Structure 1
């Protein structure tokens, strides 16, 4: 192969890789729709001999005692689910009030089970809840990882053990060889046994440089019992709803566990259709399909819908202040209230789905006769059609509720109220009306949570949401085809308007839904990209500098560079500085100014990034901003630690500072002198400083950085005091000081020195700066961040921390991680964590790449140093 062809092949591979990375979400969404389409075809064929009336008869024949037992087992399952979180917290060595943990876990599972896809997943809810309870992002990630992994492993183990015990019975049910079933089950049990053996006494396993800390035998055994109890209880909730059958409970447990696992792996929202297909395929030889469908519908309502309704009711009652007298109940209510946007978002999505499905389901004959006697046909037809569109509107609005938009709150309220009225006009649907009334009450009492003044129309849906809408529309189509299987479909059906003609009514509703969903999809996919902000004007920089002077964070003086866009709060008392690189809108550190405006600024940037087709990222934020980022649906990943020196206790005496003391004394002997040049006098020495800076850049073969660092721009340097070190009346080193009027914190930005300075000059400079600032009355000195610091020795750490620790230990070839930490450690600072907040793990990696490019001035700047 020639060099040219090899280069061309490499270029093509790179283009394919970039194309996949750019459109991976769309590919995943298309995959979900394709999987659900295949499942729909399978369900339609499996139910070829079943009629809608048979399913209704099976539902009516289910005894109330079976329903009560299903509710009981559902409660047991959710108790076990709460212990997932309690065990995870104990495993990582953190203790939180158990009522708060129980409420958070219950809401997470209620929402996650019902909705089942990313934007409203249980992991996001845990991050919001536990961050408010003071848990660090790394600990929350470990809790989520523990819960996810333990559920998956428990599911595999329960499925394998039950299959091993009843392989012969299962083989008769599913039509497979008992030997193959036993072999597969034995393989799973053997692998799990090896893992348990290796994890005895909490062993640590090293795999290619990565350290994996396994839970000890006690933790593993206890969690397996919890998982087994959870799966057994949830399986029992469905088993008691089945009609009399010769299928034993262990046989059913194996089929159920397999169905749950395949449903999770399919990534279809809530496993809709996938779970049902596996259950019907496994049990259709033993139970009539019509009775099985009735049991599955009841199971969905009891295990998925009922817990969400309970969570919403608890939230509603707590908003009405009826739980304040009981401390435990009040604590549970506070968690539910705190998560009210996520709860109401999931409820709106559920109600939207219900309205969509009801538009293709026929009205009971008695209700239809009552409507025919009371209302003219056009009103019933219009109510049926408009109700389906309102369902689509609630489905779309649910995303805005999750984002706490006031426009979404109003649209949801109006849509639900209209749907409530139409529920009586179209079918006298009392149950539907009751759920809508509960939703309206919950909206009214939680209105204070939806205060973000953002346009709902501008909220374009991403591929995940579009895939969810497509799944619901396809499901509605399958329901319609199933109900009216014996109907002869002709063009005349579209124009039949009679009370008794239900199929045409359902077809027209489905057509309207499809058109509405297509409009939403086209708007979301083809929306024009919002214009990107221009560099800040001098007036904006001046406004920002005035805010900087009145607050404590010295690093905020970086706004003087003018290389970052500025986003002001509505009150004008706070701002956020950010830059744009690729698709990343990257905020630098926490907002600056009034703390009560921080939440608003986080949401403003998130919405601006989404409107511009990008992702919001918050770089080097403090723990103070984590809860705000969690409320905006962002996850935090640790970047490193910030070194802060307490100037009130800084002294060169004692053995701890002997190295610094020796460097300072050596500087004095070498004839070094220190002075502070006031801002007004900096123009007089700017040429000398420029010469030193140019020599420093040339000596280090590097170029100026931007964004999180200042560059040598004359206007920027002359806007601040400068600390200088002179020798023989010639300046040989300098550092620009960043100060605020509150004198709480100070720091330095540009640090440059001549190539021929004596050894230890920078130590002399820093010690002199700290002594001067202490004498002036400043309280702390910010030494800056040590990237990836504090991530190397954490047991059972998330993947992000383990990779960061690995890079810290072995990445000296690319960046002086350890050297930077060692230099700052000489001053014995207090280390404070700093984070990157972004939507997900993949987004964090991409955002970090964009941050690197932004600081280095693009690809050319990074490659060319």
Structure 2
């Protein structure tokens, strides 16, 4: 039988949906981006009302080769300057990494963040994951990311401010009257940053943040690097602009930097639409009426050269490196193999968007003329229709690749090849076919990276991801409207099939087909089986878990036997996670239990997805250093929460001056007739009345209540599942502790420990010493004394805020818990201190999470304020 959760526990659905404001906060950012995108597309349509798609395409195809080559070279120079952000950032914290590694990480991060937008989120997350694996601490990675971000904005502010001060803005441009005040403010920011680094030596306090000033040379290097980067980016577009737009580089720069700031502030991925609308409005206000089509063509070419081309170059670099790794010529480092799944996911997303956008526009007339002579019309129509459906499927499968699903890998590989063939059949679009084929070629040998056997419908789609797919689909719809706005709509248009005049009907049908695929997938997700209610494990589940517990390397896995936590098994019962829910926090106790690494890794993904479907926060409490890659792989952050004391038994003894007090205590108590007895689990039920008497007396004396979750409680059913250590004084039982013993003899530990309050002093010291000596005689390698919360956290000026806060609690939190005393007591047994971490998703309310964990351990909110 499965036991139902008690009435005092949080109700799963209600508890998880209670903070309705959190949903609004999660939706606000993505919805704002979509709103700005819609506004920008509306503005573009209004500004280019007399422009046809063919005019734009004609300008792009008519660009001179020497201008394109020079623009490509300047783009390469700009991305080369971007790598200096990372080099100088690492130098500022005194760290040095291999040149190839830093260059590749920097180039990949900027190729993605420039093309997809959300620079801080995308490039910051890439840097965090791979610099952590390269040996940097969380604080060091944060400093590098902060350095790069500050350089990016300082350079933009400096370039924008100086340009607006020197170059008048046309009066018809919005906010032109504010040019001088805006220029002064933007110029003052880098000037003050530079002056502060030269004059001030004390850190600047901004609310609860403290900003340390860089050296003067570092500050100047930040501003100069950022300004050169932005200057090169502007030069690329200036080369591509039509010759008839003759406003001078200064006027061009003024409009360019304002458009870039508008695109960045809008939070629309890549500033798509927003940047173009501001540029078009700016040049239209400078007397360039009638040049809307060439300007839009230059902007389209700029997108292709400055954003899409580096993305393709990054693809080639990564694929070439992976191919060499498969051939065994270059061993792939863990940081590189960890980069590949999100890299392939991003490229798949881009490939799907390319197919949708291609399906929304008309094919080149010359290519259509060739197809008319070699291809039947039905083949063309079906190819166009299914190519857009493949594009929508790739948008969906990109999420599966990010989650490392095996089924997503196979389907993506098939669809990429199918999309390449369809691209050739629908318009001889060899550019798209080449992109898709290259991605398929790189993806093919990477099967080992997509190891999860979970269903595609198990992959959760975040709000941001859903809105990204809808945004791509919306842009495709806008392209259909823009490309064929001069075509009069009628119901007969849907059924028109023709080589020469069938572009608009084909685009409409393709858009409907892609939308239908997305809606069917969404419907399939909505009607999937409901998430099962959380239930406490019964005897059958505990029996399934017991072999895994006994063979696991950590004795703390025995906490599952308390039956106060839900057990989540993998499909083959090779591993399980024990967890409980408090508020929105789904807290897993420790690492996944089991020896099968694939099953343990899959469980981390499954647990996270289960939490996301319920709107909860997945947390892993007290995880070990050797398993940190499990959580980094799913994009979680790690916070050190303390250290665990483990005694190496083969070197443990009572010799030496430092053990004199312990040695004297043990000798005295032994002479007084104290002895240790180990009893098997089947003998424990008969001892429960005696044990309860000791437990009740101990709790009355301490004035405490029973804890839970990570600590044992006096539950007869739980105690009867483990062996027991008994301490006798003559014929009187004075203390007891239940034992956690692994069959592998890797580790022994204790959980619930109680003793008579009026018993002999030193009884717990006696118990620990005797247990360690007994465990050593039984062949155990380690004896686990448990964790000391907040131990080992640093309170240095350069330490992250979390570490300093934890160190403060450790040193001054005696009012709530004996943190320092607990560490001191365990330390006298000369243990090896091993760090323990809390794995959390990014962007959570950390104080609330910590309160939820404390509530679980303390048995409720009232227990948090009682000892």
Q: Same fold (TM over 0.5)?
A: yes
1:449 aligns with 449
The 3-state SS of whatever aligns with 1:577 is strand
**What is the CA–CA distance in structure 2 between the aligned matches of 1:819 and 1:253, rounded to whole Å?**
64
For 1:639-658, what aligned pairs fall within 5 Å after superposition? 639-654=641-656, 656-657=658-659
Distance 1:186 1:313, change over 3 A: closer
> Deviation of residue 366 (structure 1)?
2.1
Question: Aligned residues, how many?
Answer: 845
| Alpha-carbon displacement from aligned partner over 1:86-142 (angstroms, at most 9, x marks no partner) | 333344444433322322222222233333359992333334433443444454444
Asked if structure 2 preserves the Cα contact closer than 8 Å seen for 1:206 and 1:212, the reply is yes
| Alpha-carbon displacement from aligned partner over 1:125-176 (angstroms, at most 9, x marks no partner) | 3344334434444544444444334433443344334444x24368797734
1:506 aligns with 507
Asked if structure 2 preserves the Cα contact closer than 8 Å seen for 1:460 and 1:523, the reply is no
> Deviation of residue 453 (structure 1)?
1.0
For 1:452-601, what aligned pairs fall within 5 Å after superposition? 452-499=452-499, 500-521=501-522, 529-532=530-533, 534-569=535-570, 573-594=574-595, 596-597=597-598, 598-601=600-603
**What is the CA–CA distance in structure 1 between the aligned matches of 2:18 and 2:743, rounded to whole Å?**
51
Q: Which moved more, 1:112-121 or 1:84-93?
A: 112-121
2:228 aligns with 229
The 3-state SS of whatever aligns with 2:168 is helix
Asked if structure 1 preserves the Cα contact closer than 8 Å seen for 2:164 and 2:179, the reply is no
The 3-state SS of whatever aligns with 1:351 is helix
1:22 aligns with 23
Asked if structure 1 preserves the Cα contact closer than 8 Å seen for 2:537 and 2:565, the reply is yes
**What is the CA–CA distance in structure 1 between the aligned matches of 2:657 and 2:153, rounded to whole Å?**
53
- Among 255, 271, 292, the residue aligned to 2:295: 292
Distance 1:297 1:570, change over 3 A: same
**What is the CA–CA distance in structure 2 between the aligned matches of 1:247 and 1:818, rounded to whole Å?**
70
**What is the CA–CA distance in structure 2 between the aligned matches of 1:236 and 1:623, rounded to whole Å?**
48
> Deviation of residue 444 (structure 1)?
1.8
2:626 aligns with 624
> Deviation of residue 44 (structure 1)?
1.7
Asked if structure 1 preserves the Cα contact closer than 8 Å seen for 2:647 and 2:782, the reply is yes
> Deviation of residue 341 (structure 1)?
1.5
1:155 aligns with 156
> Deviation of residue 251 (structure 1)?
5.2
> Deviation of residue 651 (structure 1)?
4.5
**What is the CA–CA distance in structure 2 between the aligned matches of 1:16 and 1:591, rounded to whole Å?**
26
**What is the CA–CA distance in structure 1 between the aligned matches of 2:798 and 2:686, rounded to whole Å?**
56
Q: Which moved more, 1:75-84 or 1:394-403?
A: 75-84
| Alpha-carbon displacement from aligned partner over 1:425-444 (angstroms, at most 9, x marks no partner) | 32221211111221222222
> Deviation of residue 77 (structure 1)?
2.7
1:38 aligns with 39
Asked if structure 1 preserves the Cα contact closer than 8 Å seen for 2:638 and 2:837, the reply is yes
**What is the CA–CA distance in structure 2 between the aligned matches of 1:779 and 1:250, rounded to whole Å?**
73
1:638 aligns with 640
The 3-state SS of whatever aligns with 1:593 is coil
TM-score by length of 1: 0.87
Asked if structure 2 preserves the Cα contact closer than 8 Å seen for 1:127 and 1:635, the reply is no
- Does residue 852 of structure 1 match 2:862? no
1:10 aligns with none
The 3-state SS of whatever aligns with 2:748 is strand
Q: Which moved more, 1:500-509 or 1:621-630?
A: 500-509
2:117 aligns with 116
Asked if structure 2 preserves the Cα contact closer than 8 Å seen for 1:88 and 1:146, the reply is yes
The 3-state SS of whatever aligns with 2:19 is helix
The 3-state SS of whatever aligns with 2:844 is helix
Distance 1:749 1:356, change over 3 A: same
Asked if structure 1 preserves the Cα contact closer than 8 Å seen for 2:16 and 2:583, the reply is no
> Deviation of residue 356 (structure 1)?
1.1
- Does residue 746 of structure 1 match 2:748? yes
> Deviation of residue 254 (structure 1)?
5.2
The 3-state SS of whatever aligns with 1:741 is coil
Distance 1:216 1:762, change over 3 A: farther
**What is the CA–CA distance in structure 1 between the aligned matches of 2:246 and 2:140, rounded to whole Å?**
47
Asked if structure 2 preserves the Cα contact closer than 8 Å seen for 1:341 and 1:404, the reply is yes
- Does residue 709 of structure 1 match 2:708? no
| Alpha-carbon displacement from aligned partner over 1:453-505 (angstroms, at most 9, x marks no partner) | 11113434221111112211222232223223333334443444433142233
Asked if structure 2 preserves the Cα contact closer than 8 Å seen for 1:706 and 1:855, the reply is yes
Q: Which moved more, 1:75-84 or 1:400-409?
A: 75-84
Distance 1:753 1:357, change over 3 A: same
**What is the CA–CA distance in structure 2 between the aligned matches of 1:56 and 1:314, rounded to whole Å?**
30
Q: Which moved more, 1:210-219 or 1:74-83?
A: 210-219
2:421 aligns with 421
Asked if structure 1 preserves the Cα contact closer than 8 Å seen for 2:161 and 2:184, the reply is no
**What is the CA–CA distance in structure 2 between the aligned matches of 1:526 and 1:43, rounded to whole Å?**
39
Distance 1:371 1:413, change over 3 A: same
Asked if structure 2 preserves the Cα contact closer than 8 Å seen for 1:210 and 1:806, the reply is no
The 3-state SS of whatever aligns with 2:361 is coil
1:275 aligns with 275
Q: Which moved more, 1:430-439 or 1:379-388?
A: 379-388
Distance 1:120 1:195, change over 3 A: closer
**What is the CA–CA distance in structure 2 between the aligned matches of 1:379 and 1:508, rounded to whole Å?**
15
The 3-state SS of whatever aligns with 1:240 is helix
| Alpha-carbon displacement from aligned partner over 1:346-385 (angstroms, at most 9, x marks no partner) | 1111111111111221122222333334444443333222
Distance 1:717 1:800, change over 3 A: same
1:6 aligns with none
The 3-state SS of whatever aligns with 1:841 is coil
Asked if structure 2 preserves the Cα contact closer than 8 Å seen for 1:791 and 1:802, the reply is yes
Asked if structure 2 preserves the Cα contact closer than 8 Å seen for 1:664 and 1:764, the reply is yes
| Alpha-carbon displacement from aligned partner over 1:830-863 (angstroms, at most 9, x marks no partner) | 3322222233131655554443343344546556
Distance 1:189 1:361, change over 3 A: same
The 3-state SS of whatever aligns with 1:321 is helix
Distance 1:119 1:141, change over 3 A: closer
- Does residue 780 of structure 1 match 2:782? yes
Asked if structure 2 preserves the Cα contact closer than 8 Å seen for 1:735 and 1:749, the reply is yes
1:61 aligns with 62
**What is the CA–CA distance in structure 2 between the aligned matches of 1:280 and 1:659, rounded to whole Å?**
83
Asked if structure 1 preserves the Cα contact closer than 8 Å seen for 2:419 and 2:436, the reply is yes
Asked if structure 2 preserves the Cα contact closer than 8 Å seen for 1:156 and 1:188, the reply is yes
1:106 aligns with 107
> Deviation of residue 220 (structure 1)?
3.5
| Alpha-carbon displacement from aligned partner over 1:795-829 (angstroms, at most 9, x marks no partner) | 44444434444544554444444443343344443
TM-score by length of 2: 0.87
- Does residue 301 of structure 1 match 2:304? yes
Q: Which moved more, 1:126-135 or 1:631-640?
A: 126-135
**What is the CA–CA distance in structure 1 between the aligned matches of 2:616 and 2:441, rounded to whole Å?**
35
Distance 1:19 1:358, change over 3 A: same
Q: CA RMSD in A?
A: 3.6
| Alpha-carbon displacement from aligned partner over 1:24-44 (angstroms, at most 9, x marks no partner) | 323333222212111221222
Asked if structure 1 preserves the Cα contact closer than 8 Å seen for 2:393 and 2:517, the reply is no
- Does residue 314 of structure 1 match 2:294? no
> Deviation of residue 59 (structure 1)?
1.2
**What is the CA–CA distance in structure 2 between the aligned matches of 1:364 and 1:639, rounded to whole Å?**
61
- Among 683, 693, 708, the residue aligned to 2:695: 693
1:8 aligns with none
**What is the CA–CA distance in structure 2 between the aligned matches of 1:756 and 1:194, rounded to whole Å?**
68
Distance 1:621 1:525, change over 3 A: same
**What is the CA–CA distance in structure 2 between the aligned matches of 1:511 and 1:759, rounded to whole Å?**
81
The 3-state SS of whatever aligns with 1:380 is helix
**What is the CA–CA distance in structure 2 between the aligned matches of 1:540 and 1:145, rounded to whole Å?**
48
Distance 1:272 1:640, change over 3 A: farther
Asked if structure 2 preserves the Cα contact closer than 8 Å seen for 1:554 and 1:746, the reply is yes
1:9 aligns with none
**What is the CA–CA distance in structure 2 between the aligned matches of 1:209 and 1:667, rounded to whole Å?**
54
Q: Which moved more, 1:291-300 or 1:346-355?
A: 291-300
- Among 834, 837, 858, the residue aligned to 1:835: 837
**What is the CA–CA distance in structure 2 between the aligned matches of 1:109 and 1:764, rounded to whole Å?**
61
**What is the CA–CA distance in structure 2 between the aligned matches of 1:37 and 1:171, rounded to whole Å?**
26
Q: Which moved more, 1:373-382 or 1:518-527?
A: 518-527
- Structure 2 residue runs of 5 or longer lacking an equivalent are 1-14
Asked if structure 1 preserves the Cα contact closer than 8 Å seen for 2:559 and 2:712, the reply is yes
